[in-house]
């Protein structure tokens, strides 16, 4: 894990360095390295604890290979979400007047999903999207980068809404400290999204009292938020798309869980548990949410299951994680091909005709 994170972090540095000749990357301090090591350690410790308490069963993972149809369906579900999520981000970019090629946007988004599985920082794969926008959105970088934050918030809000529906269907899923904590944090983030749009028109008024560089950023943010607030059709369509993405994301987890010899729960119960697990998995605590998603899924399944000996519920989410990494791995090949093409182009330009 450490070696993979180190290689990918270097790749991010190259992207950012190549985005503009004026960008100078500061030498990383020891504090971020210590924080990254702590996040990786937390993820590995969570997995070890789940294995020790028999919420993860390696033998069950091997047994899943005997069900190739389920694996193919889960892989297809994970793959189907990639262009949908890229389309949502593409719409948010277009709302700011940034007409970037959809094929390129999809490619960059897929790359960000792959790297998010390994990058130890809080931003994760969003570094890839940020580097792309830094180069492609000259003069409109602040609103372009805001599209990444809004894209994440809309996705999170969709998970929260579906989670509330799940609570109405199965109130038992919310019992316990973990369930209430996830719901409280999710509602807080949704509240922040609403407050962001309510306060956007006023933000520009205070820009003149700030330092010039900060005033420019605040003014750009205020203008970008006003554009989003006026384009209700774009926001509505993006949120409806987010609901579809959230529902589709829970399907592969539920299919895998229903196939594993765990018993006691319906596929609907597994889908409800998957929603909570996916919310927890998106929290920037461990690389790619490793350990958090498995723990949240196992906890939700325990609350929904009948009293008695528990099954290794965390195995299902761990299997889904493996499938998800596989579904995003073609983006790594695409990025390597892009890097090779860019290198050959630079070589030709230096050598001349």
Q: 279 to each of 159, 181, 189, 292, 324, how far by Cα in Å?
A: 7, 11, 12, 9, 16
Q: Classify 182 in phi/psi space as left (phi over 0), alpha (psi -120 to 50) or beta.
A: alpha
185 CB-contact burial (10 Å; exposed 0-12 / middle 13-18 / buried 19+): middle
In a domain, 10, yes or no: yes
List of E strands, 280-347 = none
Is 177 among the domain residues?
A: yes
Task: Count structural domains, the chain.
Answer: 1
DSSP class of residue 313 equals T
319 domain residue, yes or no: yes
- Structural domain includes residue 46: no
Q: Please check whether residue 288 lies inside any domain of the structure.
A: yes
pLDDT at 198: 66
In the 8-state DSSP scheme, what is residue 28? P
pTM: 0.79
What confidence score (pLDDT) does residue 215 get? 56
Is 52 inside a domain boundary? no
Q: How many CB atoms lie within 10 A of CB 320?
A: 28
**Contact present, 278 and 246 (Cβ < 8 Å):** yes
Torsion of CA 125, 103, 152, 78, to 10 degrees: -80
352 dihedral zone (left: phi>0; alpha: psi -120 to 50; beta): left
Q: Are 81 and 243 in contact (CB under 8 A)?
A: no
Range of the domain at 210: 2-17+67-339
Residue 295 resides in a domain: yes
Amino acid 207: pLDDT: 56
pLDDT of residue 202: 62
Please, where are the H alpha helices in 208-259?
A: 212-230, 232-259
Q: Given this model, what pLDDT does residue 270 score?
A: 94
Q: What does the pLDDT profile of the chain (353 residues) look like in tens digits?
A: 334 334 434 444 444 344 333 333 344 455 667 777 887 888 889 899 999 898 999 888 888 889 999 999 999 999 999 999 999 999 999 988 888 889 889 989 998 888 888 765 545 678 889 888 888 877 777 778 888 888 988 888 888 788 778 777 776 655 555 556 666 766 776 677 677 666 665 655 655 565 555 555 556 666 667 777 778 888 889 999 999 999 999 999 999 999 987 667 889 899 999 998 998 888 777 888 889 899 999 988 988 887 777 789 999 999 999 999 999 888 777 677 666 555 555 555 566 55
Q: Is residue 90 part of a domain?
A: yes
């Amino acid at each position: 894990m450490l070696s993979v994170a180190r290689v990918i972090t270097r790749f991010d540095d190259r992207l950012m360095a190549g985005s503009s000749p004026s960008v100078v990357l500061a030498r990383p301090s020891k504090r971020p390295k210590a924080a990254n090591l702590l996040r990786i350690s937390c993820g590995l410790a969570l997995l070890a604890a789940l294995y020790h308490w028999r919420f993860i069963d390696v033998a069950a993972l091997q047994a899943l290979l005997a069900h190739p149809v389920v694996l193919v369906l889960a892989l297809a579900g994970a793959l189907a979400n990639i262009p949908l999520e890229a389309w949502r981000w593409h719409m948010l970019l277009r709302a700011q007047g940034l007409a970037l090629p959809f094929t390129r946007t999809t490619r960059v988004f897929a790359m960000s999903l792959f790297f998010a599985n390994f990058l130890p920082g809080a931003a994760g794969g969003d570094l890839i999207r940020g580097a792309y926008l830094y180069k492609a959105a000259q003069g409109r970088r602040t609103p372009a980068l805001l599209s990444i934050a809004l894209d994440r918030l809309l996705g999170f809000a969709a998970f929260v809404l579906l989670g509330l529906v799940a609570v109405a269907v199965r109130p038992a899923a919310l019992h316990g400290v973990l369930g209430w904590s996830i719901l409280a944090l999710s509602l807080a983030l949704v509240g922040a999204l609403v407050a962001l749009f309510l306060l956007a028109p006023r933000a520009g008024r205070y820009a003149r009292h700030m330092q010039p560089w900060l005033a420019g950023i605040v003014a750009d943010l205020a203008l970008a938020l006003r554009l989003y607030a006026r384009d209700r059709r774009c926001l509505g369509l993006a949120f409806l798309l987010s609901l579809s993405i959230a529902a589709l994301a829970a399907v592969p987890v539920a299919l895998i869980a229903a196939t594993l010899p765990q018993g006691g729960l319906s596929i609907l119960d597994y889908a409800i548990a998957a929603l909570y697990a996916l919310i927890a998995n998106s929290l920037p605590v461990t690389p790619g949410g490793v350990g958090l998603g498995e723990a949240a899924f196992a906890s939700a399944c325990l609350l929904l299951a009948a009293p008695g000996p528990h099954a290794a519920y965390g195995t299902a989410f761990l299997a889904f994680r493996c499938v998800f990494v596989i579904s995003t791995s073609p983006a790594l090949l695409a990025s390597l091909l892009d890097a090779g093409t860019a290198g050959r182009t630079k070589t030709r330009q230096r050598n001349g005709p």
